[in-house]
Amino acid sequence: MKKYCNKRTCLIGSLVLVVLIYFVCLLAFGTKNYTEVNKPVSDVLTEQPRLEDDFHDNINYKYLSENQLGDDEFVWYYMYSKSSELIKEEKIKIIDDILNNCDKHPAGSVNEKICLFYNSYNVKDKDKAAKKELKYYIDLINNTKNINDYMNAVLTVNKELSIGIVVNPTINFQPTNLKQPYFILDNIYYDYQVYNSEFYSLDSFEQELNKLKKYDVKLLKLFGYKDNEAYKRVSKIQSMYKDIARFSLKSNKLIDKGYKLYSVNDLQQQLKNINVNYIISKYNNLYNGGYVLVSDINQLKAIDSYLIDENLDTLKMYAELRIITEYSNYLGNDYFELNNEYNEIFTGYKTAFKDDKEFIYEQIYSLFQDTIVNEFAKRNFSIDEKIFYTNLVIEEIEAFKKRINKEEWLSDKTKAFAVDKMNKITYTVGTPDNFVYTENNYLITKDNSYLGNAISMNKSIFNEYCNQYRKGNIVYGLMDPLEQNAYYEANTNSINLLLGMIYSYKKTLNLDEKNLEKSYFEILGTAGATIGHELSHALDSDGSKYDGSGNYTNWWTKEDAENFNKLNIEVVKYYNNYEQFGSTTLAENIADLGGMALIMDMAKTKKAKEDDYKKIFEAYTLDWCSQMNPYVRVNALYNDEHSPNKNRVNAVLSSTEEFYSVYDIKESDGMYVPKKNRVAVW
């Protein structure tokens, strides 16, 4: 994956970025037991280094020295920062055009629905209406008399509000048989989207838990509870979280366990109070398989043991707080300001949104993404660009196949499987060819409240996804097409070069979209390296466990698998020399190295000269020009699957033969790595 957002699996998408920043920084500031080698250091450059010693800082010196992070900033990307505002402005123009012509849109059209949704946000007393609608779901839970009634109410809330309370059910296809649906009981979130059980089970986070408690108390007070009652409720809920978290797995990499699935009967035998078949039946009788995947069986068993009548009051309090927390952004400015206050405590950012307009426009975008993205593409993505980047993907697939066939450590049998996987790979360039158009089915009326319309749209999204599953279509939470990113999906064996990334390269590199060939080598160093990176994910330490159809299976010979693992070990050792943890970032490092190797092959095919190689290397380096708050950077060392951006330049180029000849890198230079220590997998 290039850089990483889920498309729209719930209605509070506008707060997802805030939540992610919050949790990342929470971890960063909550764990300060750093090794000496990974102590936070300043990003401030006092002088420009020689390119032979530090290529990343030399090439990016101008931008790094001119764009130091402010006290309230955590991350800065040159390319991302420069183009993200342009993307935001274009989205605003598109929504403005729709809202300024509400009287002209045909009845029942998506544009009319956007107008109706926007108008429902601006009605008088919308906050009271929203509170009343949420109260309906809260009362549904609070009026239950026993655990069975409670579970029934919770599952209704799960479906209609997309909140995983007690259980977090989803549907997917078996990784070993993509035509067979299976059911997932995923980890529950604790408070405010905290997913990690360690947060509630380790003493080192107690200070942050106290801050979170203060926020929850304020939230409940806004909702009408008195100070003492709010405090008692939050204390009981946190105590429940701690009880459950103690039993959760600290690490749960399902892929390394071969996707072990529980049969419904076997799972039910381990649970006393959770009725697995009943949960499955609530999902439109869609599931017809015999297995359930449980993300954390220890957590599920701990929750199951908690589901007894004597805990019913605490369980009701927990459900109410989860509902209020998830939908607080619909309840008015007081809640909005509290979210901003809370966000500032943990991240340093003072506001999530500058004003009401920015907030509601982001809501409109998250719910009507297909319509707005399509209009963005019409205005900013030409046929010439689509053809050029599509051809670039095809060329790189062919280059990868040739590279596979040249690998001496692979047997002919494994080569054939790997090439077959490349032949079957699919790709999306710019925007998906086929959207799941849930927007056409939205039921929005002028009589509905703002929150009521949002809930109605959420139900439409869920029902449409269920319909897609019934047809045998795999449905994934795709990234936002305007995200400046790219990704590989193992279960579909597909790569996706998103429109936001193509647009970003166009704006930051000042490309002429009608004559992209004249900037071929700059594009090769940016988009080309990105495409190669994603292709390499198909055969990295994770992607290599799937076949060309996206099934989880072992298609390697024993000897080839052993050779592959030996190469992986060398990559880990190599990156450990760069003051990071090579094992944590193995898959991404293989993809970085593979992407560079592919564009070197393509440059040779194009008979690249020395200046052309310089354009490739310098554009590639500019793509990773960034700065990060020291403590966030340290947290990333422990938790991010990607190497630090500086290493994604220097470590990759120091293992690239052409780099040495182009810049005359000598043994005395900082960028020099002895030939025997340079690494590559593909």
pLDDT, tens digit, 9 for 90 and up, residues 359-372:
889 889 988 998 99
Residue 344 CA to chain centroid, in angstroms? 22
- Confidence band (pLDDT; 50, 70, 90) for 78? confident
Dihedral sign computed on CA atoms, order 293, 298, 300, 301: positive
- Confidence band (pLDDT; 50, 70, 90) for 346? low
Q: Cα–Cα distance between 115 and 282 in angstroms, integer?
A: 33
Q: What is the CA radius of gyration of the chain?
A: 26
Specify the pLDDT at position 323: 94
- Confidence band (pLDDT; 50, 70, 90) for 141? very high
Stretch among 37-46, 356-365, 475-484, 498-507 having the lowest mean pLDDT: 37-46
Q: Cα–Cα distance between 220 and 331 in angstroms, integer?
A: 12
Residue 429 CA to chain centroid, in angstroms? 19
Q: Cα–Cα distance between 336 and 327 in angstroms, integer?
A: 11
What mean pLDDT is predicted for residues 268-278? 92
Q: Cα–Cα distance between 399 and 180 in angstroms, integer?
A: 34
Inter-CA distances, 491 with 112, 172, 260, 392, 483, Å: 37, 10, 16, 23, 21
Q: Cα–Cα distance between 389 and 430 in angstroms, integer?
A: 9
Percent of the chain with pLDDT over 70: 84
**Do 21 and 623 meet the contact criterion of CB atoms below 8 Å apart?**
no
Q: Cα–Cα distance between 24 and 106 in angstroms, integer?
A: 45
- The contacts of residue 44 (CB under 8 Å, 6+ apart) are 68
What mean pLDDT is predicted for residues 10-35? 36
Specify the pLDDT at position 435: 61
Specify the pLDDT at position 12: 33
Eight-state DSSP code of residue 100: T
User: pLDDT tens across 613-669, in order?
Assistant: 999 999 999 999 988 877 667 767 777 889 999 999 999 999 999 999 999 999 999
Q: Cα–Cα distance between 325 and 327 in angstroms, integer?
A: 6
Inter-CA distances, 461 with 8, 432, 455, 475, Å: 9, 17, 10, 11
Residue count of the chain: 682
Higher pLDDT, 214 or 26: 214
SS3 240: helix
What mean pLDDT is predicted for residues 382-411? 96
**Do 298 and 247 meet the contact criterion of CB atoms below 8 Å apart?**
yes
Q: Cα–Cα distance between 568 and 674 in angstroms, integer?
A: 18
Q: Structure pTM?
A: 0.82
Q: Cα–Cα distance between 442 and 108 in angstroms, integer?
A: 9
| Closest among 451, 439, 226, 238 to 328, alpha carbons compared | 451
